DNA sequence: GTTAGCACTCTTGTGGTGCGAGTGCTAAGA
DNA sequence: TCTTAGCACTCGCACCACAAGAGTGCTAAC
């Protein structure tokens, strides 16, 4: 078990290292205000903390640096979230300042402001488009053999895709199809669209249309909505500002991993409610073993959820980021729900 | 004037430096096959070339490196474009392999393949959306006070925007408006949309609709199509692979500049027909003073044009890139024109 | 239990040295 | 007159030694 003083020293050490990015030594610490014991005492305590795996040395006679275990203990037990400074709140609120009516726009702005505020990289996941509900379907013919399919959802999101249409098809056939589609598919989620298309609509079309086959199958192809359309980044280049990252190779790997939307679920586990902190090797991706990721979820209405993530060095300003994310998560939930209900 | 031999030595020097990224010395050059004179002779010639400003030394006793003037002379007079190797052609053609029906998709793929092929960063500008012609307009009400405006162009491009509608507006009013818009605006380019809206449509709407004012003005706001929607990148991180870039600060500046779409016109001058090479400080942006940019235009149909740019170090493989861009430009023009006509 | 003192360790910066690759110049050779 | 061998010279770079500084662990005294 840790003594009161050990806890205190661990906390101060982590705080100091987060702030300075330099290994912290006993003399340095002792000079700080609020510390009433000598360097030697601190050395003894630090040696104990190192023995327990909370601190590390970069070399035999260096100051100490928190280990991953140290960071973990710090965020689990020593984090005293302080209220956000006014400037930060003002900045955060500026996201919603302009009357914005599109969720996408709000999320984009959030990503930007968040990265500016933190100097880290922010990743925001919008709500899964595939849970949106079809409000209207239409097909606009472009030429004799192609048309564009348009799906509008209840949230005002628009999906559109060009697809081929069989040669010499009667325009009235397309109109018929659109009518059938709208009759049968309004109110269905994008996710279920494909299934419902097969199950119900195909039957009806068989009855009412002559050349349903080809048209139907190409249209069906077109309306597969991909999963990953909803990722927004802020401050992708901020890693380059961090003194912790100097190895170009590692930077490249990290940036590569973050760009690749396939990896997003590894960075931000889906379905995670609330706030989570993943430190160094706790991350699933080895390219992120020098990073910490803080994620928080937010809600839109009762059902849909999105996520916010901040990727920074392990030596991240946890206190500040946690407060920022807490606040932003709340604000976003409120604001987006409002937009949804409007 | 340069003698035949000086030209030869300049060319070989540049070629060698492009390939090795190391200052090239007289001994090293003399060892190369195809060189029949001694290191001393080469030294003399190199000294002359340096005197004329085509070569530079990194320090008093180092090998030579091409100066910007040297590169300029090289690309202007010494570039013998060789036919592309088969592998490259195969790769390039793979862009059009899958049956793709959307220009956007083709351009995206081009950017990707191009960056893979070159190991540099590619920037592709699609044709200016604002020159596309309106094919259909529609408005889908989302709630009592918002709706989404959708514009489909002849190319199958879809613009959509959520905009507020006055409270308690009769749905039939909206329908009326859509009808009027479609009557008057089909065939107009997105660019002219705003103007035509003011000039013609407003009058008609005044006659037929009661509460045209508010609805009209919010709609008008919504259909302003921004200019810069059509930039695609490939291999943004490839700069990190180049041995020429090691200064994190410069890398950051460069990446910053490239991400910012406002700067794109400075990187790719608009309206440039054909192929252009800009070396180092010939670039408008100081962040790019260590880069070379090769741009080429391509055509879609008779009117619209787009651009391809490759951003790499001054020590770029000009020969190869020029051939690649020439070929891709031709292929893209052909393929996109085909899609447009289909 | 705390701390002053001290020997010890390790990093960092600096100056010296040798090697290698390159140059310019001179003088001899073609 | 052009070419080239030879040579002295210049840097960059890697290597080493050395001193300064910051930090540690341990011991002994308070």
CA distance B166 to chain A (A): 12
- Give Cα A121 to chain centroid, integer Å: 10
Mutate to test the interface with A, among B121, B152, B250, B301 (most CBs of A within 10 A): B152
Judged against a pLDDT cut of 70, whether residue A342 lies above it is answered with no
pLDDT at A36 over 70: yes
Query: DSSP class of residue B168?
Result: T
Any idea which nucleotide's C1' is nearest the CA of A59? C10
Interface touch B160/A158, C-beta < 8 Å: yes
**Which pTM was predicted?**
0.91
Q: What is the pLDDT of residue B119?
A: 97
Lowest mean pLDDT among A284-288, A292-296, B32-36: B32-36
Same domain, residue pair A245 and A318: yes
- Which of A211 and B165 is assigned the larger pLDDT? B165
- Say if A150 is an interface residue toward chain B (CB within 8 Å): yes
Please give the structure tokens belonging to residue B54: 């085509």
Tally Cβ neighbours within 10 Å of residue B41: 15
CB contact under 8 A, B101 and A162: yes
Asked if B256 and A237 come within 8 Å (Cβ–Cβ), the reply is yes
pLDDT tens, residue by residue, A1-28: 899 999 999 999 999 999 999 999 999 9
* Six-digit token string for B19: 């390939």
Q: How confident is the model at residue B228 (pLDDT cuts 50, 70, 90)?
A: low
Q: Mean of the per-residue pLDDT values for chain A? A: 91
* Residues A239 and A291 sit within 8 Å (Cβ to Cβ): no
CB B297 within 8 A of CB B333: no
Element at A279 (helix H, strand E): strand A275-279
Q: Are residues A144 and A235 in the same domain?
A: no
The set of strand C positions with any atom below 7 Å of a protein CB reads 2-5, 8-11, 20-26
pLDDT > 90: percent of chain B = 66
Contacts from A40-45 at CB under 8 Å and sequence distance 24+? A42/A9, A45/A5, A45/A6, A45/A9
Going from the C-alpha of A177 to that of each of A181, A206, A208, A334, B83, the distances in angstroms are: 6, 10, 9, 39, 51
Q: Which residue has the tokens 């195909």?
A: A202
Q: Of the residues B190, B222, B254, which one is the last residue of a structural domain?
A: B222
Q: Are residues A117 and A235 in the same domain?
A: yes
Pick the most confident of A94-108, B93-107, B288-302. B288-302
How is residue A289 annotated by DSSP?
A: T
CA distance B146 to B214: 12
Q: Are residues B15 and B147 in the same domain?
A: no
Element (H, E) at B312: strand B304-313
Task: For residue B335, give the CATH number of its domain.
Answer: 3.30.450.40
DSSP-derived letter for residue A302 is T
Tally of domains in chain B: 3
A293 and A322 housed in the same domain: yes
Q: Are B106 and B335 in contact (CB under 8 A)?
A: yes
Residue A228: the pLDDT is 65
Span B198-218, average pLDDT: 80
CB A125 within 8 A of CB A307: yes
Averaged over B184-208, what is the pLDDT?
A: 87
CA atoms within 13 A on the CB side of B116: 12
Residue A287 has pLDDT above 70, yes or no: yes
* CATH at B204: 3.30.390.60
Q: Quick: pLDDT tens for B31-87.
A: 987 888 999 999 999 999 999 999 999 999 999 999 999 999 999 999 988 899 999
Q: Please, are residues A124 and A107 in contact by the beta-carbon 8 Å criterion?
A: yes
What confidence tens digit (pLDDT) does each residue in A79-138 have? 988 899 999 999 999 999 887 778 888 999 999 999 999 999 999 999 888 888 999 999
Name the token pair of B272. 């440039």
A164 has which bridge partners? A146
Express each pLDDT in A205-262 by its tens digit.
888 877 677 788 888 888 887 766 789 999 999 999 998 998 888 999 999 999 998 9
Per the structure block, which two tokens stand in for B211?
């509460």
Determine the residue among B116, B154, B162, B222 to mutate to test chain A binding: the one whose Cβ has the most chain A Cβ atoms within 10 Å.
B162
Residue-wise pLDDT for A166-193, tens only, equals: 887 888 888 988 999 999 999 999 989 9
Same domain, A54 and A166: no
Residues B54 and B122 in one domain: no
Are both B123 and B235 inside the same structural domain?
yes
B173 with B93, same domain: the answer is no
Give the Cα separation of B40 and B25 in Å (integer): 11
Position A281 pLDDT exceeds 80 = yes
Residue A139 lies in domain:
130-222
Is the CB of residue B250 less than 8 Å away from at least one CB of chain A?
Answer: no
Which token pair is A176? 């018929």
- Cα A309 to its chain centre, rounded Å, is 4
Residues B189 and B325 occupy one common structural domain: no
């Amino acid at each position: 078990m840790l003594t009161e003083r050990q806890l205190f020293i661990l906390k101060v050490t982590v705080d100091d290292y987060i702030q300075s990015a330099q290994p912290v030594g006993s003399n340095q610490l002792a000079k700080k205000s609020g510390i009433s014991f000598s360097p030697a005492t601190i050395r003894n305590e630090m040696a104990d903390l190192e023995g327990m795996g909370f601190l590390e040395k970069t070399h035999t006679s260096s100051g100490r640096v928190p280990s991953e275990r140290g960071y973990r203990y710090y965020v689990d037990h020593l984090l005293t979230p302080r209220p956000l400074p006014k400037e930060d709140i003002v900045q955060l609120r500026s996201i919603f300042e302009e009357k914005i009516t599109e969720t996408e726009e709000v999320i984009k702005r959030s990503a930007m402001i968040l990265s500016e505020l933190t100097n880290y990289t922010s990743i925001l996941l919008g709500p899964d488009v595939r849970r949106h509900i079809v409000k209207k379907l239409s097909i606009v013919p472009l030429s004799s053999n192609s048309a564009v399919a348009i799906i509008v959802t209840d949230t005002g999101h628009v999906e559109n895709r060009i697809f081929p249409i069989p040669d010499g098809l009667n325009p009235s056939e397309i109109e018929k199809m659109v009518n059938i589609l709208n009759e049968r598919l309004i109110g269905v989620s994008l996710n279920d669209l494909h299934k419902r298309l097969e199950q119900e609509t195909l039957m009806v079309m068989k009855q009412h249309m002559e050349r349903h086959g080809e048209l139907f199958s190409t249209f069906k192809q077109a309306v597969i909505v991909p999963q990953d359309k909803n990722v927004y980044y802020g401050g992708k280049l901020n890693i380059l500002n961090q003194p912790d990252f100097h190895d170009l190779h590692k930077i490249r790997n990290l940036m590569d991993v973050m760009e690749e939307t396939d990896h997003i679920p590894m960075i931000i586990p889906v379905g995670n409610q609330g706030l989570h902190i993943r430190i160094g090797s706790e991350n699933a991706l080895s390219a992120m073993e020098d990073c910490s990721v803080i994620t928080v979820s937010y809600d839109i209405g009762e059902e849909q959820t999105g996520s916010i993530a901040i990727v920074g060095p392990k030596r991240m300003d946890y206190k500040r980021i946690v407060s920022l994310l807490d606040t932003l998560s709340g604000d976003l939930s409120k604001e987006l729900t409002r937009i949804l209900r409007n």
